[in-house]
Structure 1
Amino acid sequence: MPTSRDPASAKTVEGPAAAVADVPAGASIAVGGFGLSGNPETAIQALRDLGVGDLTVVSNNCGVDDFGLGILLANRQVRKMVSSYVGENKIFEQQFLSGELEVELVPQGTLAERLRAGGAGIPAFYTPAGVGTPIADGKETREIDGREYLLEHGITTDFAIVRAWKGDTAGNLVYRKTARNFNPLVATAGRITIAEVEELVPVGELDPDHVHTPGIYVQRIFRSPGLEKRIERRTVREVAA
Protein backbone atom coordinates (compact mmCIF):
# COMPACT_ATOMS: atom_id res chain seq x y z
CA MET A 1 0.00 0.00 0.00
CA PRO A 2 1.17 3.63 -0.43
CA THR A 3 3.62 4.77 2.22
CA SER A 4 2.38 8.35 2.51
CA ARG A 5 -0.77 10.46 2.26
CA ASP A 6 1.31 13.17 0.58
CA PRO A 7 0.07 13.33 -3.06
CA ALA A 8 3.67 13.70 -4.21
CA SER A 9 4.55 10.26 -2.86
CA ALA A 10 1.16 8.55 -2.62
CA LYS A 11 2.14 6.03 -5.31
CA THR A 12 5.37 4.95 -3.61
CA VAL A 13 5.37 1.51 -1.99
CA GLU A 14 8.04 -0.10 0.17
CA GLY A 15 9.13 -2.77 -2.30
CA PRO A 16 8.05 -5.54 -4.65
CA ALA A 17 6.22 -7.60 -2.04
CA ALA A 18 4.01 -4.66 -1.08
CA ALA A 19 3.47 -3.73 -4.73
CA VAL A 20 2.00 -7.12 -5.70
CA ALA A 21 0.43 -8.09 -2.37
CA ASP A 22 -3.17 -7.77 -3.61
CA VAL A 23 -2.74 -9.63 -6.92
CA PRO A 24 -5.36 -12.39 -6.66
CA ALA A 25 -5.44 -15.87 -8.11
CA GLY A 26 -6.87 -15.78 -11.63
CA ALA A 27 -5.65 -12.25 -12.38
CA SER A 28 -4.50 -11.13 -15.81
CA ILE A 29 -1.09 -9.45 -15.87
CA ALA A 30 0.78 -7.69 -18.69
CA VAL A 31 4.54 -7.81 -18.20
CA GLY A 32 7.20 -5.66 -19.88
CA GLY A 33 10.51 -6.82 -21.26
CA PHE A 34 11.95 -8.37 -24.40
CA GLY A 35 13.94 -11.51 -23.84
CA LEU A 36 15.53 -10.68 -20.50
CA SER A 37 16.04 -7.00 -21.33
CA GLY A 38 13.83 -4.69 -19.32
CA ASN A 39 12.26 -7.49 -17.28
CA PRO A 40 10.66 -6.33 -14.01
CA GLU A 41 12.80 -8.91 -12.21
CA THR A 42 12.00 -8.20 -8.59
CA ALA A 43 8.25 -7.83 -9.13
CA ILE A 44 8.19 -11.21 -10.89
CA GLN A 45 10.11 -12.75 -7.99
CA ALA A 46 7.61 -11.23 -5.57
CA LEU A 47 4.75 -12.80 -7.53
CA ARG A 48 6.53 -16.15 -7.32
CA ASP A 49 6.89 -15.74 -3.55
CA LEU A 50 3.25 -14.67 -3.23
CA GLY A 51 2.29 -17.98 -4.81
CA VAL A 52 -0.94 -16.92 -6.53
CA GLY A 53 -1.90 -19.18 -9.41
CA ASP A 54 -4.24 -19.49 -12.38
CA LEU A 55 -2.66 -16.36 -13.88
CA THR A 56 -3.07 -15.14 -17.44
CA VAL A 57 0.18 -13.45 -18.47
CA VAL A 58 0.58 -11.19 -21.52
CA SER A 59 4.20 -10.71 -22.46
CA ASN A 60 6.33 -10.81 -25.59
CA ASN A 61 8.07 -13.94 -24.30
CA CYS A 62 8.29 -15.99 -21.13
CA GLY A 63 11.84 -15.56 -19.90
CA VAL A 64 14.08 -18.59 -19.56
CA ASP A 65 13.75 -21.69 -17.41
CA ASP A 66 15.13 -20.18 -14.22
CA PHE A 67 14.75 -16.44 -14.70
CA GLY A 68 12.13 -13.86 -15.54
CA LEU A 69 8.64 -15.19 -16.13
CA GLY A 70 10.09 -18.68 -16.38
CA ILE A 71 10.10 -18.91 -12.59
CA LEU A 72 6.31 -18.47 -12.52
CA LEU A 73 5.95 -21.29 -15.03
CA ALA A 74 8.27 -23.49 -12.98
CA ASN A 75 6.08 -22.80 -9.94
CA ARG A 76 2.93 -23.76 -11.88
CA GLN A 77 1.36 -20.33 -11.38
CA VAL A 78 0.50 -19.54 -15.02
CA ARG A 79 -2.63 -20.92 -16.66
CA LYS A 80 -2.40 -19.03 -19.96
CA MET A 81 0.30 -17.16 -21.87
CA VAL A 82 -0.39 -14.57 -24.56
CA SER A 83 2.98 -14.24 -26.27
CA SER A 84 4.87 -13.68 -29.47
CA TYR A 85 8.16 -15.54 -29.01
CA VAL A 86 8.47 -18.54 -26.70
CA GLY A 87 11.47 -20.45 -28.02
CA GLU A 88 13.91 -20.00 -25.13
CA ASN A 89 11.97 -21.79 -22.41
CA LYS A 90 11.94 -25.58 -22.11
CA ILE A 91 9.44 -25.53 -19.24
CA PHE A 92 7.08 -23.55 -21.47
CA GLU A 93 7.47 -26.19 -24.20
CA GLN A 94 6.84 -29.08 -21.83
CA GLN A 95 3.74 -27.53 -20.24
CA PHE A 96 2.30 -26.53 -23.62
CA LEU A 97 2.81 -29.96 -25.21
CA SER A 98 1.31 -31.68 -22.17
CA GLY A 99 -1.79 -29.46 -22.31
CA GLU A 100 -1.05 -27.94 -18.91
CA LEU A 101 -0.48 -24.44 -20.31
CA GLU A 102 -2.89 -22.60 -22.60
CA VAL A 103 -1.05 -20.52 -25.20
CA GLU A 104 -2.23 -17.75 -27.51
CA LEU A 105 0.50 -16.96 -30.03
CA VAL A 106 0.32 -13.44 -31.45
CA PRO A 107 2.51 -11.85 -34.17
CA GLN A 108 4.93 -9.50 -32.45
CA GLY A 109 3.72 -6.32 -34.11
CA THR A 110 0.11 -7.28 -33.50
CA LEU A 111 0.84 -7.92 -29.82
CA ALA A 112 2.47 -4.50 -29.49
CA GLU A 113 -0.49 -2.81 -31.19
CA ARG A 114 -3.06 -4.76 -29.14
CA LEU A 115 -1.42 -3.47 -25.96
CA ARG A 116 -1.17 0.07 -27.31
CA ALA A 117 -4.78 -0.01 -28.48
CA GLY A 118 -6.03 -1.32 -25.16
CA GLY A 119 -4.17 1.42 -23.32
CA ALA A 120 -5.56 4.06 -25.67
CA GLY A 121 -9.15 2.87 -25.28
CA ILE A 122 -9.35 1.47 -28.81
CA PRO A 123 -11.41 -1.75 -28.68
CA ALA A 124 -10.21 -3.30 -31.95
CA PHE A 125 -8.32 -2.66 -35.18
CA TYR A 126 -7.65 -4.31 -38.54
CA THR A 127 -4.24 -5.69 -39.52
CA PRO A 128 -2.95 -7.78 -42.46
CA ALA A 129 -0.63 -9.75 -40.17
CA GLY A 130 -1.73 -13.38 -39.92
CA VAL A 131 -4.13 -13.43 -42.87
CA GLY A 132 -4.20 -16.89 -44.41
CA THR A 133 -2.52 -18.53 -41.40
CA PRO A 134 -3.87 -20.35 -38.32
CA ILE A 135 -3.73 -16.96 -36.55
CA ALA A 136 -6.82 -16.03 -38.58
CA ASP A 137 -8.93 -19.00 -37.47
CA GLY A 138 -12.24 -17.83 -36.04
CA LYS A 139 -11.48 -14.13 -36.51
CA GLU A 140 -13.48 -11.58 -38.41
CA THR A 141 -11.92 -10.50 -41.71
CA ARG A 142 -12.59 -7.54 -43.93
CA GLU A 143 -11.38 -6.47 -47.36
CA ILE A 144 -10.15 -2.89 -47.47
CA ASP A 145 -8.86 -1.40 -50.75
CA GLY A 146 -8.50 -4.86 -52.21
CA ARG A 147 -6.53 -6.35 -49.32
CA GLU A 148 -7.78 -8.71 -46.60
CA TYR A 149 -7.38 -7.77 -42.94
CA LEU A 150 -8.00 -9.45 -39.59
CA LEU A 151 -9.88 -7.82 -36.75
CA GLU A 152 -7.73 -7.92 -33.60
CA HIS A 153 -8.87 -6.74 -30.17
CA GLY A 154 -7.06 -4.38 -27.83
CA ILE A 155 -5.64 -5.86 -24.64
CA THR A 156 -6.27 -4.59 -21.14
CA THR A 157 -5.32 -6.50 -18.00
CA ASP A 158 -6.02 -6.38 -14.29
CA PHE A 159 -2.38 -5.53 -13.56
CA ALA A 160 0.68 -4.44 -15.52
CA ILE A 161 4.27 -4.76 -14.32
CA VAL A 162 7.10 -2.79 -15.92
CA ARG A 163 10.68 -1.82 -15.28
CA ALA A 164 12.15 1.60 -15.89
CA TRP A 165 15.55 3.19 -15.44
CA LYS A 166 14.31 6.24 -13.55
CA GLY A 167 10.99 7.22 -12.07
CA ASP A 168 9.65 9.91 -9.78
CA THR A 169 7.21 9.60 -6.92
CA ALA A 170 4.35 10.70 -9.19
CA GLY A 171 4.96 7.66 -11.38
CA ASN A 172 6.60 9.33 -14.38
CA LEU A 173 9.00 6.87 -16.00
CA VAL A 174 12.13 7.02 -18.15
CA TYR A 175 13.41 3.84 -19.82
CA ARG A 176 16.98 3.25 -20.94
CA LYS A 177 17.89 2.09 -24.43
CA THR A 178 16.89 -1.48 -25.33
CA ALA A 179 15.14 -1.97 -21.99
CA ARG A 180 12.46 0.40 -23.24
CA ASN A 181 11.03 -2.27 -25.62
CA PHE A 182 7.49 -3.39 -24.61
CA ASN A 183 7.46 -1.53 -21.29
CA PRO A 184 5.74 1.72 -22.40
CA LEU A 185 2.97 -0.24 -24.14
CA VAL A 186 2.46 -2.58 -21.20
CA ALA A 187 2.33 0.35 -18.77
CA THR A 188 -0.76 1.74 -20.49
CA ALA A 189 -2.63 -1.57 -20.66
CA GLY A 190 -2.99 -2.39 -16.95
CA ARG A 191 -5.85 -1.18 -14.80
CA ILE A 192 -3.27 -1.13 -12.00
CA THR A 193 0.27 -0.55 -13.25
CA ILE A 194 3.24 -1.34 -11.03
CA ALA A 195 6.64 0.11 -11.90
CA GLU A 196 9.98 -0.94 -10.47
CA VAL A 197 12.77 1.54 -11.11
CA GLU A 198 16.51 1.57 -10.68
CA GLU A 199 16.46 5.13 -9.41
CA LEU A 200 13.52 6.82 -7.66
CA VAL A 201 13.65 10.63 -7.53
CA PRO A 202 11.39 13.39 -6.20
CA VAL A 203 8.86 15.08 -8.47
CA GLY A 204 10.52 17.78 -10.54
CA GLU A 205 13.87 16.05 -11.08
CA LEU A 206 12.89 14.46 -14.41
CA ASP A 207 12.97 16.58 -17.53
CA PRO A 208 9.37 16.43 -18.83
CA ASP A 209 10.70 16.08 -22.38
CA HIS A 210 12.47 12.87 -21.39
CA VAL A 211 9.49 11.11 -19.81
CA HIS A 212 8.38 8.04 -21.77
CA THR A 213 5.44 6.97 -19.57
CA PRO A 214 3.42 9.73 -17.88
CA GLY A 215 2.60 9.11 -14.25
CA ILE A 216 -1.15 9.02 -14.94
CA TYR A 217 -0.66 5.44 -16.13
CA VAL A 218 1.20 4.29 -12.99
CA GLN A 219 -0.52 3.48 -9.71
CA ARG A 220 2.42 2.04 -7.73
CA ILE A 221 6.16 2.59 -7.93
CA PHE A 222 9.12 1.34 -5.95
CA ARG A 223 12.88 1.36 -6.17
CA SER A 224 14.11 -2.12 -6.97
CA PRO A 225 16.28 -3.54 -4.19
CA GLY A 226 18.64 -5.05 -6.77
CA LEU A 227 18.64 -6.18 -10.38
CA GLU A 228 20.66 -9.03 -11.77
CA LYS A 229 20.20 -7.87 -15.39
CA ARG A 230 21.10 -11.30 -16.67
CA ILE A 231 22.28 -11.59 -20.26
CA GLU A 232 20.14 -14.08 -22.18
CA ARG A 233 22.76 -15.07 -24.74
CA ARG A 234 26.30 -13.87 -24.23
CA THR A 235 27.96 -13.54 -27.64
CA VAL A 236 31.57 -12.59 -28.22
CA ARG A 237 33.41 -11.99 -31.43
CA GLU A 238 35.81 -14.69 -32.55
CA VAL A 239 39.22 -13.30 -33.48
CA ALA A 240 41.27 -15.25 -35.98
CA ALA A 241 44.65 -16.37 -34.69
Structure 2
Amino acid sequence: MNKVVASAADAVADIADGATIAVGGFGLCGIPSALIRALYEQGTGALSVVSDSCGVDDLGLGLLLGAGRIARATGSCLGDNKEFARQYLAGEIELELTPQGTLAERLRAGGCGIPAFYTPAGVGTPVAEGGLPLRYGPDGGVAVASPPKEVRTFDGVDYVLEHGITTEYALVRAARGDRHGNLVFERSARNFNPLAAMAGRVTVAEVEEIVPPGELDPDEIHLPGVFVQRVVPLTWEQAADKHLEKRTVRAVPAGPR
Protein backbone atom coordinates (compact mmCIF):
# COMPACT_ATOMS: atom_id res chain seq x y z
CA MET A 1 0.00 0.00 0.00
CA ASN A 2 3.00 2.30 0.16
CA LYS A 3 2.88 4.09 -3.19
CA VAL A 4 5.56 6.67 -2.43
CA VAL A 5 8.30 6.99 -5.06
CA ALA A 6 11.60 8.67 -4.19
CA SER A 7 11.66 11.23 -6.99
CA ALA A 8 9.77 12.60 -9.97
CA ALA A 9 12.45 11.14 -12.25
CA ASP A 10 11.86 7.64 -10.85
CA ALA A 11 8.09 8.07 -11.14
CA VAL A 12 8.15 8.80 -14.90
CA ALA A 13 11.10 6.59 -15.84
CA ASP A 14 8.92 4.01 -17.64
CA ILE A 15 7.00 6.54 -19.73
CA ALA A 16 8.21 5.76 -23.23
CA ASP A 17 8.13 7.63 -26.53
CA GLY A 18 4.62 7.68 -28.00
CA ALA A 19 2.84 7.31 -24.67
CA THR A 20 -0.63 8.75 -24.05
CA ILE A 21 -0.84 10.99 -20.98
CA ALA A 22 -3.66 12.84 -19.25
CA VAL A 23 -2.33 15.92 -17.44
CA GLY A 24 -4.17 17.81 -14.71
CA GLY A 25 -4.29 21.56 -14.26
CA PHE A 26 -5.93 24.55 -15.87
CA GLY A 27 -3.47 26.86 -17.61
CA LEU A 28 -0.76 27.04 -14.93
CA CYS A 29 -3.07 26.39 -11.97
CA GLY A 30 -2.57 22.99 -10.37
CA ILE A 31 -0.19 21.65 -13.01
CA PRO A 32 2.21 18.80 -12.12
CA SER A 33 5.26 20.91 -12.91
CA ALA A 34 7.84 18.63 -11.26
CA LEU A 35 6.64 15.57 -13.18
CA ILE A 36 6.49 17.50 -16.45
CA ARG A 37 10.05 18.73 -15.94
CA ALA A 38 11.25 15.21 -15.12
CA LEU A 39 9.65 13.94 -18.32
CA TYR A 40 11.32 16.78 -20.24
CA GLU A 41 14.75 16.00 -18.76
CA GLN A 42 14.25 12.31 -19.53
CA GLY A 43 13.88 13.17 -23.22
CA THR A 44 10.60 11.35 -23.85
CA GLY A 45 8.89 12.44 -27.08
CA ALA A 46 6.12 11.81 -29.63
CA LEU A 47 3.63 12.10 -26.79
CA SER A 48 -0.15 12.23 -27.10
CA VAL A 49 -1.38 14.57 -24.37
CA VAL A 50 -4.89 15.15 -23.02
CA SER A 51 -5.11 18.39 -21.06
CA ASP A 52 -7.31 21.47 -20.94
CA SER A 53 -4.43 23.49 -22.45
CA CYS A 54 -0.69 23.22 -22.97
CA GLY A 55 0.31 25.85 -20.43
CA VAL A 56 2.28 28.82 -21.71
CA ASP A 57 5.57 29.13 -23.57
CA ASP A 58 8.31 27.34 -21.58
CA LEU A 59 6.07 26.59 -18.57
CA GLY A 60 3.97 23.53 -17.84
CA LEU A 61 3.33 21.42 -20.92
CA GLY A 62 4.74 24.35 -22.90
CA LEU A 63 8.15 23.02 -21.84
CA LEU A 64 7.55 19.75 -23.69
CA LEU A 65 5.81 21.50 -26.55
CA GLY A 66 8.70 23.90 -27.14
CA ALA A 67 11.09 20.95 -27.34
CA GLY A 68 8.93 19.26 -30.00
CA ARG A 69 8.01 16.37 -27.71
CA ILE A 70 4.21 16.48 -28.20
CA ALA A 71 2.83 14.93 -31.38
CA ARG A 72 -0.87 15.16 -30.58
CA ALA A 73 -2.97 17.13 -28.11
CA THR A 74 -6.59 16.90 -27.03
CA GLY A 75 -7.81 20.01 -25.24
CA SER A 76 -10.17 22.94 -25.08
CA CYS A 77 -8.01 25.93 -26.00
CA LEU A 78 -4.63 27.16 -27.18
CA GLY A 79 -4.50 29.72 -24.37
CA ASP A 80 -1.63 32.20 -24.49
CA ASN A 81 0.84 29.62 -25.80
CA LYS A 82 2.15 31.20 -29.00
CA GLU A 83 4.35 28.19 -29.78
CA PHE A 84 1.32 25.91 -29.54
CA ALA A 85 -0.54 28.07 -32.08
CA ARG A 86 2.51 28.21 -34.36
CA GLN A 87 3.01 24.43 -34.37
CA TYR A 88 -0.69 23.78 -34.95
CA LEU A 89 -0.98 26.21 -37.87
CA ALA A 90 2.30 24.92 -39.35
CA GLY A 91 1.07 21.33 -39.30
CA GLU A 92 3.69 20.20 -36.79
CA ILE A 93 1.18 18.96 -34.23
CA GLU A 94 -2.25 17.36 -34.36
CA LEU A 95 -4.91 19.01 -32.20
CA GLU A 96 -8.36 17.79 -31.27
CA LEU A 97 -10.36 20.71 -29.88
CA THR A 98 -13.33 19.78 -27.71
CA PRO A 99 -15.70 21.81 -25.52
CA GLN A 100 -14.32 22.17 -22.00
CA GLY A 101 -17.25 20.52 -20.23
CA THR A 102 -17.21 17.70 -22.77
CA LEU A 103 -13.50 17.16 -22.18
CA ALA A 104 -14.09 16.94 -18.43
CA GLU A 105 -16.90 14.42 -18.89
CA ARG A 106 -14.88 12.36 -21.40
CA LEU A 107 -12.11 11.98 -18.81
CA ARG A 108 -14.57 11.16 -16.03
CA ALA A 109 -16.41 8.67 -18.24
CA GLY A 110 -13.18 6.93 -19.19
CA GLY A 111 -12.22 6.64 -15.53
CA CYS A 112 -15.64 5.18 -14.68
CA GLY A 113 -15.53 2.61 -17.48
CA ILE A 114 -18.20 4.37 -19.55
CA PRO A 115 -17.25 4.03 -23.24
CA ALA A 116 -19.41 6.87 -24.58
CA PHE A 117 -22.22 9.27 -23.72
CA TYR A 118 -24.55 11.77 -25.36
CA THR A 119 -24.33 15.53 -24.76
CA PRO A 120 -26.06 18.55 -26.32
CA ALA A 121 -22.77 20.50 -26.39
CA GLY A 122 -21.56 20.94 -29.96
CA VAL A 123 -24.77 19.96 -31.76
CA GLY A 124 -25.16 21.96 -34.96
CA THR A 125 -21.47 22.92 -35.05
CA PRO A 126 -18.37 21.36 -36.64
CA VAL A 127 -17.82 19.57 -33.31
CA ALA A 128 -20.69 17.28 -34.28
CA GLU A 129 -20.78 17.75 -38.06
CA GLY A 130 -17.04 17.25 -38.59
CA GLY A 131 -14.57 19.32 -40.55
CA LEU A 132 -12.56 20.78 -37.67
CA PRO A 133 -8.87 20.89 -38.67
CA LEU A 134 -6.99 18.21 -36.73
CA ARG A 135 -3.80 18.85 -38.67
CA TYR A 136 -2.81 21.45 -41.24
CA GLY A 137 -0.63 20.70 -44.24
CA PRO A 138 2.56 22.51 -45.29
CA ASP A 139 0.53 24.61 -47.75
CA GLY A 140 -1.80 25.86 -45.02
CA GLY A 141 -4.69 23.65 -46.12
CA VAL A 142 -6.42 21.13 -43.88
CA ALA A 143 -4.55 17.82 -44.09
CA VAL A 144 -6.69 15.91 -41.56
CA ALA A 145 -10.21 16.95 -40.53
CA SER A 146 -12.39 15.67 -37.73
CA PRO A 147 -15.02 13.12 -38.78
CA PRO A 148 -18.75 13.63 -38.21
CA LYS A 149 -20.17 12.20 -34.99
CA GLU A 150 -23.39 10.34 -34.34
CA VAL A 151 -26.33 12.56 -33.36
CA ARG A 152 -29.51 11.18 -31.81
CA THR A 153 -32.72 12.78 -30.62
CA PHE A 154 -34.04 12.23 -27.10
CA ASP A 155 -37.33 13.85 -26.05
CA GLY A 156 -37.13 16.20 -29.00
CA VAL A 157 -33.57 17.37 -28.27
CA ASP A 158 -30.50 16.47 -30.35
CA TYR A 159 -27.42 15.06 -28.64
CA VAL A 160 -23.98 14.20 -30.02
CA LEU A 161 -22.13 11.02 -29.11
CA GLU A 162 -18.77 11.58 -27.40
CA HIS A 163 -16.31 8.85 -26.41
CA GLY A 164 -14.73 8.45 -22.99
CA ILE A 165 -10.98 8.99 -22.72
CA THR A 166 -8.46 6.65 -21.16
CA THR A 167 -4.68 7.08 -21.28
CA GLU A 168 -1.68 4.99 -20.40
CA TYR A 169 -0.52 7.50 -17.79
CA ALA A 170 -1.85 10.48 -15.88
CA LEU A 171 0.17 13.22 -14.17
CA VAL A 172 -1.51 15.29 -11.46
CA ARG A 173 -0.67 17.60 -8.55
CA ALA A 174 -2.30 17.60 -5.10
CA ALA A 175 -1.97 19.79 -2.02
CA ARG A 176 -2.10 16.92 0.49
CA GLY A 177 -2.01 13.15 0.30
CA ASP A 178 -0.97 9.99 2.09
CA ARG A 179 1.19 7.04 1.09
CA HIS A 180 -1.93 5.13 0.01
CA GLY A 181 -2.58 7.73 -2.72
CA ASN A 182 -5.62 9.45 -1.18
CA LEU A 183 -5.48 13.06 -2.41
CA VAL A 184 -6.82 16.49 -1.51
CA PHE A 185 -6.67 19.35 -4.02
CA GLU A 186 -6.66 22.99 -2.96
CA ARG A 187 -9.30 25.42 -4.22
CA SER A 188 -9.12 26.01 -7.98
CA ALA A 189 -6.33 23.44 -8.38
CA ARG A 190 -9.17 20.96 -8.06
CA ASN A 191 -9.91 21.51 -11.73
CA PHE A 192 -8.96 18.75 -14.16
CA ASN A 193 -6.71 16.94 -11.67
CA PRO A 194 -9.23 14.39 -10.28
CA LEU A 195 -10.63 13.74 -13.76
CA ALA A 196 -7.21 13.25 -15.37
CA ALA A 197 -6.21 10.95 -12.52
CA MET A 198 -9.26 8.78 -13.09
CA ALA A 199 -8.54 8.41 -16.81
CA GLY A 200 -4.95 7.16 -16.47
CA ARG A 201 -4.13 3.46 -16.17
CA VAL A 202 -1.02 4.46 -14.21
CA THR A 203 -1.56 7.71 -12.32
CA VAL A 204 1.37 9.59 -10.81
CA ALA A 205 0.63 12.32 -8.26
CA GLU A 206 3.10 14.92 -7.07
CA VAL A 207 2.03 16.00 -3.58
CA GLU A 208 2.98 19.14 -1.68
CA GLU A 209 2.41 17.64 1.78
CA ILE A 210 2.44 13.95 2.71
CA VAL A 211 0.51 13.06 5.87
CA PRO A 212 0.27 9.73 7.75
CA PRO A 213 -2.52 7.35 6.72
CA GLY A 214 -5.68 8.10 8.64
CA GLU A 215 -4.95 11.80 9.09
CA LEU A 216 -7.10 12.80 6.12
CA ASP A 217 -10.77 12.93 7.01
CA PRO A 218 -12.55 10.59 4.57
CA ASP A 219 -15.07 13.36 3.89
CA GLU A 220 -12.34 15.73 2.68
CA ILE A 221 -10.65 13.33 0.27
CA HIS A 222 -11.25 14.47 -3.31
CA LEU A 223 -9.69 11.45 -5.01
CA PRO A 224 -9.42 8.01 -3.36
CA GLY A 225 -6.15 6.14 -3.61
CA VAL A 226 -7.63 3.41 -5.80
CA PHE A 227 -7.08 5.77 -8.75
CA VAL A 228 -3.41 6.51 -7.87
CA GLN A 229 -0.44 4.19 -8.39
CA ARG A 230 2.54 6.45 -7.55
CA VAL A 231 2.98 9.31 -5.09
CA VAL A 232 5.89 11.75 -5.33
CA PRO A 233 6.55 13.98 -2.27
CA LEU A 234 7.63 17.46 -3.37
CA THR A 235 10.44 19.39 -1.77
CA TRP A 236 9.64 22.80 -0.30
CA GLU A 237 11.17 24.46 -3.36
CA GLN A 238 9.13 22.31 -5.76
CA ALA A 239 5.91 22.93 -3.82
CA ALA A 240 6.52 26.69 -3.92
CA ASP A 241 7.22 26.70 -7.67
CA LYS A 242 3.92 28.17 -8.85
CA HIS A 243 3.31 30.72 -11.57
CA LEU A 244 0.57 33.08 -12.74
CA GLU A 245 -0.44 33.34 -16.37
CA LYS A 246 -1.61 36.94 -16.03
CA ARG A 247 -1.11 39.33 -13.14
CA THR A 248 -3.84 41.95 -12.79
CA VAL A 249 -3.45 44.90 -10.43
CA ARG A 250 -5.53 47.97 -9.67
CA ALA A 251 -4.58 51.47 -8.63
CA VAL A 252 -4.58 52.18 -4.90
CA PRO A 253 -7.28 54.78 -4.08
CA ALA A 254 -5.94 58.19 -3.03
CA GLY A 255 -6.44 59.52 0.46
CA PRO A 256 -6.08 58.09 3.96
CA ARG A 257 -6.18 54.33 4.40
Cα distance per residue 1:15-63 (max 9 Å; x no partner): 1100100001110000000111100010000110111111000000110
Question: Residue 139 of structure 1: SS of its match in structure 2?
Answer: coil
1:206 to 212, 216, 231: 216
Percent identity of equivalent pairs? 60
**Residue of structure 2 in register with 1:113 after alignment:** 105
Does 1:58 pair with 2:50?
yes
Distance 2:25 2:55 in 1: 9
Cα drift, residue 122 of structure 1: 0.5
Kindly tell me the number of residue pairs found equivalent between the two proteins.
233
The answer to whether the Cα contact below 8 Å between 1:84 and 1:106 also exists between their aligned partners in 2 is yes
Do 2:176 and 2:185's aligned partners in 1 also have CA atoms closer than 8 Å?
yes
Structure label with greater radius of gyration: 2
Residue 140 of structure 1 is matched in structure 2 by 150
1:28 aligns to what?
A: 20
Match of 2:161 among 138, 141, 151: 151
Distance 1:43 1:93 in 2: 24
Gaps of 5+ in 1: 1-6
C-alpha separation in 1, matches of 2:99 and 2:248: 26
Aligned to 2:250: 237
d(CA) in 2 for partners of 1:204, 1:146: 50
- Asked if 1 retains the 8 angstrom alpha-carbon contact of 2:24 and 2:51, the reply is yes
Matches within 5 A, 1:1-241: 7=1, 9=2, 11-136=3-128, 137=130, 138-225=148-235, 226-227=238-239, 228-239=241-252, 241=254
Gaps of 5+ in 2: 131-147
- CA offsets, 1:184-204, max 9 Å, x none? 111110000000000012211
Please tell me whether the aligned partners of residues 200 and 222 of structure 1 are also in contact (alpha carbons under 8 angstroms): no
Q: State the one-letter code of the partner of 2:163.
A: H
Question: TM-score, length-normalised on structure 2?
Answer: 0.89
CA deviation digits over 1:47-104, x for unaligned, max 9? 1011111100000011000100000001111000100021210110110011000000
SS in 2 for 1:46: helix
Q: TM-score, normalised by structure 1?
A: 0.95
TM superposition outliers: structure 1 runs of 4+ over 6 Å: none
The residue type equivalent to 1:118 in the other structure is: G
